[in-house]
Chains A and B, each alone.
Chain A
Amino acid sequence: MCDQTFLVNVFGSCDKCFKQRALRPVFKKSQQLSYCSVCAEIMATDGLHENETLATLKSEAESLKGKLEEERAKLHDVELHQVAERVEALGQFVMKTRRTLKGHGNKVLCMDWCKDKRRIVSSSQDGKVIVWDSFTTNKEHAVTMPCTWVMACAYAPSGCAIACGGLDNKCSVYPLTFDKNESMAAKKKSVAMHTNYLSACSFTNSDMQILTASGDGTCALWDVESGQLLQSFHGHGADVLCLDLAPSETGNTFVSGGCDKKSMVWDMRSGQCVQAFETHESDVNSVRYYPSGDAFASGSDDATCRLYDLRADREVAIYSKESIIFGASSVDFSLSGRLLFAGYNDYTINVWDVLKGARVSILFGHENRVSTLRVSPDGTAFCSGSWDHTLRVWA
């Protein structure tokens, strides 16, 4: 769905020499400035060692990449599914659609559960964001965004607000009110500003901070109250499509996946990328942490889902079948991490045994691509959203 973003040629006055030139974005201590190409080169060559040229740096980068692969391969003594042979196989699963949420006028793009395990927020291509009670299928709130393609939405931990955004390049927070006299749109707060579409957003442990991912290739951490940018994360070479925060016990990191086929793990305090994985053959559409926080799974347009262990620093499992040729758009784990639910562009949901690597079940029901999938906070059900305009709750 995402088109390639091209570098925009901006003409204007350079922030350093003030001459009227073609400008490029340049980052100095996480602050974005616009330099002309001459000043950008001067800044980059400041403090360069005598023999460092572009060529020597590139060859050093290549040799470091080789060394990284070697180090990772040294510890690859066994496969996960071999270790998992001693675990009991899973029995048959009977999972059915228990609720169908109808009401969106166009493709459902994103959804999130509330911590109360019953409310769901979903957003759609038609610009509407709806809050549902999944037990009764009633709609509790509805907001119309000023843009179409609302690609990201999230529920606040308190359950009192939702965040959403998409082609408007912003992430806005709406407090949820049951007061009939108040319009939700009136209390809207614009928090994040990116230079391209918003692809994903998530509240951190509190209602006060939001993490966003964007088609402009960056992720950012914002303070909700003031709208201030707290930290930005640069490193992806193309649109960032997804992100997931580490489970709270394991600290301040998050993982992001992008159109550059990479999944990157970031330290939220320093803004640094601490680990990067590039084994997918196409865009990474969805990333999700394993419940223990020591691993994460990713789903990609290359029709595979993969599991990466953070302490072993490598991919440890691939979930794929020759018969599956459509991309995986969304993945999530069951509470114990034994099951991986993945929604695909061929309208199905596949359930994988994470440890043994085998498919356990295939679920039919949606009449178009499955675009989003989340397991409920207590693990009793999961919800999938699709381009067929509906959401389904499965248990």
Chain B
Amino acid sequence: MSSREAFGCDIGQARRAVEQLRMEAGIDRIKVSKAATDLLQFCTEQAKSDPFLVGIPAATNPFKEKKPCAIL
């Protein structure tokens, strides 16, 4: 599985891999429940300012067509 093998299996690479893994294993993590709750909170707070969720009237959205005007 290790893609680190793809570039040749020399000692220097193996040492760097071990050091990198040691560092990654040691970082601080939080529970998924807390992380998920924070993501949810961010979403709900920002939802009011998200044009895709709130919808902008056609008049102010530069991409949507304005009401057709009749040329008299």
Q: Which residues of A contact B (CB under 8 A)?
A: 7, 24, 26, 40-41, 43-45, 48, 52-54, 57-58, 60-61, 64-65, 67-68, 71-72, 75-80, 83-84, 87, 90, 93, 95, 98-99, 118, 134-135, 235, 237-238, 260-262, 272-276, 290-292, 294-295, 309, 311-314, 316, 334-339, 354-355, 378-381, 393, 395
In the bound complex, CA of A53 to CA of B11 (Å): 7
Question: Cβ of A41 and Cβ of B10 under 8 Å apart?
Answer: yes
Residue of A nearest to B12 (CB): A44
CA distance A57 to B17 in the complex (A): 9
Residue in B13, B25, B62 whose beta carbon sits within 8 Å of that of A71 in the complex: B25
In the assembled complex, which residues on chain B have CB atoms less than 8 Å from the CB atom of A64? 18, 21-22, 25
Count of interface residues, chain B, beta-carbon cutoff 8 Å:
50
B residues in contact with A380, CB < 8 Å: 51, 56, 61-63
Q: Are B3 and A238 in contact (CB under 8 A)?
A: yes
- Do the beta carbons of A58 and B20 come within 8 Å of each other? no
A-B contact pairs, 23 of them (CB 8 A): A40-B12, A61-B14, A65-B21, A68-B24, A75-B30, A83-B33, A83-B40, A95-B52, A98-B65, A237-B4, A272-B23, A274-B23, A294-B42, A311-B34, A311-B38, A312-B35, A314-B32, A336-B46, A336-B50, A338-B50, A338-B53, A355-B40, A379-B49
- Which residues from B are CB-within-8-Å of A87? 40, 43-44
**Does the CB pair B18–A60 fall under 8 Å?**
yes
B15 near A57 with CB under 8 A, answer yes
Of all chain B residues, which has the CB nearest A217? B7
Q: Are B6 and A238 neighbours in the complex by a CB distance under 8 Å? A: yes
Chain B contact residues, majority secondary structure: helix
Asked, given contacts A40-B10, A65-B21, A314-B32, whether A237 binds B43 with beta carbons under 8 Å apart, the answer is no
The docked-state distance in angstroms from the alpha carbon of A331 to that of B4 is 27
Residues of A within 8 A of B18 (CB): 57, 60-61, 64
Complex: how many Å from CA A291 to CA B38? 12
Least CB distance, A387 to chain B, in whole angstroms: 23
Number of cross-chain contacts by CB at 8 Å: 190
Question: Does B32 lie within 8 Å of A77, measured CB to CB?
Answer: yes
How far, in angstroms, from A58 to B61 measured CA to CA in the complex?
58
Q: Is B71 an interface residue (CB 8 A)?
A: no
Provide the residues of chain B in CB contact with A98, threshold 8 Å: 63-65
**5 closest cross-chain pairs (CB), A and B:** A44-B12, A237-B3, A336-B46, A336-B50, A64-B21
Contact of B15 among A44, A311, A334, A337 (CB under 8 A): A44
Q: How far is the CB of A255 from chain B (nearest CB, A)?
A: 15
Q: Please, which residues of chain A bring their CB within 8 A of the CB of B11?
A: 41, 44-45, 48, 52-54, 57
Q: A84-B40, A395-B64 are in contact. Are A336 and B27 (CB under 8 A)?
A: no
Question: Would you call B20 and A273 a contact (CB within 8 A)?
Answer: yes
A78→B33 CA distance, assembly (Å):
6
Judged by a CB distance under 8 angstroms, whether B67 is at the interface is no
Q: A61-B17, A83-B36, A379-B51 are in contact. Are A260 and B3 (CB under 8 A)?
A: yes
Is there an interface contact between A335 and B39, defined as CB atoms closer than 8 Å?
no
Contact of A395 with B25 at beta-carbon distance under 8 Å, contacts A238-B6, A309-B39, A337-B46 already known: no
Nearest-neighbour CB distance to chain A for B25, whole angstroms, equals: 5
Taking a contact as CB atoms under 8 Å apart, the answer to whether B29 and A72 are in contact is yes
B9 at the interface (CB under 8 A from A): yes
Chain A residues with CB under 8 A of B52: 93, 95, 334-335, 339, 379
Question: Which of chain A's residues has its CB closest to B22's CB?
Answer: A64
Chain A residues closer than 8 Å to B23, beta-carbon distance: 272, 274
CA distance A65 to B27 in the complex (A): 14
Beyond contacts A57-B18, A274-B23: 16 other A-B pairs, Cβ-Cβ < 8 A, are: A24-B8, A53-B11, A54-B9, A57-B15, A64-B21, A71-B29, A75-B32, A79-B32, A98-B65, A262-B3, A291-B46, A311-B34, A311-B38, A312-B29, A337-B43, A378-B51
